[in-house]
Amino acid sequence: MTATNVDAERAYDDRTFNAVEDFKSDRMKVVCGYFEPGQFIPVHAPSSDVAIHVRSGTGHVRDGTLEHTVKPGDVVVVEADTDRGIKADEDGRLEACLVTAPPPTDAEHDPVREGINRGIFDPRGA
């Protein structure tokens, strides 16, 4: 059994969002995401489903062409091969638990790295 205390795991990074991996197998990956105001996971479309549970703060989740405004307690599920991204609002931190199944490949995270390096939420211009 894997057990995590989200409060004990909490760690922010001034440069980019911080994803603390809590569990990973061939079938699933669980991370706690910590976002300073305005930080984001850039839009990408891996071959995995993701469930995002917002623990605190507010922000937006991209789901294909839709943008969902999220707040504490919200859960958003985005299906595999669908554009997705998460962005904290400019006025506060955001914390979320993300469960992906199966875990995205390293290559599928290339748009994430590109967006972070370029400082843009949607590196593919969608």
CA count, 13 A, side-chain hemisphere, 117: 6
Domains of the chain: 15-118 (2.60.120.10)
Q: By the 8 A CB rule, do 12 and 54 touch?
A: no
pLDDT at residue 57, rounded to an integer: 98
pLDDT at residue 116, rounded to an integer: 93
3-class secondary-structure state, position 45 = coil
3-class secondary-structure state, position 34 = strand
Q: Return mean pLDDT, the chain.
A: 94
Instruction: Give the global pTM.
Output: 0.92
| pLDDT tens, position by position, 3-35 | 777 777 899 999 999 999 999 999 999 999 999
What distance in Å separates the CA atoms of residue 126 and residue 118, rounded to the nearest whole number? Answer: 15
Query: Which positions of the chain have pLDDT values less than 70?
Result: 1, 125-126
